[in-house]
């Protein structure tokens, strides 16, 4: 029962290609059922994020092509596109891949933790749709435990590696609890939206968005329950700001020394944290010379991001041993589970023959035949039946010079006293 991972990710394909095979959450259940109905697919879990779409499946070798073809048809991809972008990993490599994904080691942003929740949702929906069985259940639970162990042991997610998130974490380092602070966001582009989202997640309830277009400022402000003002009103609200984050497309500074001086006076020189993530700069560099002002530029933040990326890379390297240990542990369980299936079949075969022969022997004894003779015959017949197929296979192996199978047989049936 080979374990397979079939997918396309940011490592192998552009966003345009990934969009073709992206699967909406509302379609998970139906796609799991479709895949589960393919010939040979015994278990299946579908994972789809902005960076990857992957199918984890259990089934015989021929199911590999079935799953790959399903993915191709679903995304309407050509054979050439599949050959270029699609990867298939089997057995131990599939296990290792999932454990690295769960640990954030395969993410676009190294060490990000959002993927764990996405994997859990995928696993849960597959279970509800009847796709995940004993093996994939165990695999995904091992993956969650491995991801948790990697994060707690290496601290891989502790160092922010985006400019927006780094901005918010620096503010937290300066002020501690941000919930009581007022933040003024200058601009209304993607970077400001990201900062607003991070600040909102940190519990900041007092947010002001200032933008040249009041309509756009209002649109962004509504997402976070913030207050919107036109850029011309910025000087009148600066005194409220514990934190100012600016990212506009202005060719010249929009925040100068005098308005900040006036704001500090109204604030009775309570400190202000200003972050300029615009190029060209939004905040005049002389603002940084004022007392009680902490001014960071995009270059300052990039240094922090680069340093944190280096720390995450070191943590990822340190996590290799944890991944290896987890893979080995799961593979031992999987191999034991495979052996259990074979043993069950052997016992079933032996029980069927023994029950049939015992019933026949009892009838003979009840009919008056010699019990000793009946039992001897029973033992001989049972041994022949159980050993018939293995004996045939061994003779074939000898004729074909299959030394490996002969060695295995010798190991299985060699009497203890001859070792």
Active site residues: 50
CA dist 380 and 386 (Å) reads 10
What would the two tokens of residue 292 be? 């009680």
DSSP 47-84: EE-SSEEEEEEE--TTHHHHHHHHHHHHHT--HHHHHH
Give, rounded to a whole angstrom, the gap between the first and last alpha carbons of the chain: 33
User: Which candidate, 210, 219, 273, 262, places its Cα nearest to that of 239?
Assistant: 262
Residue with tokens 């918010």: 168
Q: Are 17 and 81 in contact (CB under 8 A)?
A: yes
Q: What's the angle, vertex CA 175, arms to CA 171 and CA 181, rounded to 5?
A: 85
For residues 105 and 150, what is the distance between their CA atoms, to the nearest angstrom? 10
- Give the single-character DSSP code of 283: B
3 state SS of 99: helix
Bridge-partner residues for 46, per DSSP?
A: 55
Distance CA 189, CA 197 (A): 12
């Amino acid at each position: 029962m080979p374990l397979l991972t079939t997918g396309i990710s940011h490592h192998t394909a552009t966003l345009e290609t990934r969009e073709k095979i992206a699967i909406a959450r509302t379609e998970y259940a139906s796609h799991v059922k479709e895949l589960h109905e393919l010939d040979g697919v015994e278990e299946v879990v579908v994972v789809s994020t902005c960076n990857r779409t992957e199918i984890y499946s259990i089934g015989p070798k021929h199911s590999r092509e079935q799953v790959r073809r399903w993915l191709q048809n679903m995304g309407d991809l050509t054979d050439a596109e599949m050959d270029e972008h699609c990867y298939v990993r089997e057995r131990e490599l599939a296990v290792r891949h999932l454990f690295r994904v769960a640990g954030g080691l395969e993410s676009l942003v190294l060490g990000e933790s959002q993927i764990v929740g996405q994997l859990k949702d995928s696993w849960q929906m597959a279970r509800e749709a009847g796709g995940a069985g004993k093996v994939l259940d165990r695999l995904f639970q091992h993956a969650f435990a491995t991801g948790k162990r990697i994060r707690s042991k290496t601290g891989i997610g502790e160092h922010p590696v985006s400019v927006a998130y780094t901005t918010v974490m620096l503010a937290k380092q300066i002020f501690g609890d941000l919930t009581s602070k007022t933040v003024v966001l200058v601009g209304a582009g993607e970077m400001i939206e990201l900062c607003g989202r991070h600040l909102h997640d940190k519990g900041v309830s007092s947010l002001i968005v200032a933008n040249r277009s009041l309509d756009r400022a209002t649109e962004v402000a509504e997402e976070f329950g913030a207050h919107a003002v036109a850029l011309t009103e910025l000087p009148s609200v600066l005194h409220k700001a514990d934190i100012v984050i600016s990212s506009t497309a202005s060719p010249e500074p929009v925040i100068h020394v005098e308005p900040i001086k006036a704001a500090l006076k109204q604030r009775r020189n309570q400190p202000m944290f200003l972050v300029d993530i615009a190029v060209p700069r939004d905040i005049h560099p002389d603002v940084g010379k004022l007392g009680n002002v902490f001014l960071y530029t995009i270059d300052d933040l990039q240094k922090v991001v680069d340093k944190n990326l280096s720390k995450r890379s070191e943590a990822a390297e340190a996590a290799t041993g944890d991944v290896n240990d987890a893979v080995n542990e799961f593979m031992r369980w999987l191999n034991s589970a495979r052996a259990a299936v074979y043993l069950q079949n052997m016992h079933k075969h032996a029980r069927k023959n023994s029950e049939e022969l015992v019933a026949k022997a009892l009838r003979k004894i009840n009919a008056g035949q010699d019990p000793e003779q009946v039992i001897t015959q029973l033992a001989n017949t049972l041994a022949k039946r159980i050993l018939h197929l293995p004996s045939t296979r061994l003779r074939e192996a000898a004729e074909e010079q299959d030394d490996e199978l002969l060695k295995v047989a010798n190991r299985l049936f060699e009497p203890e006293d001859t070792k």
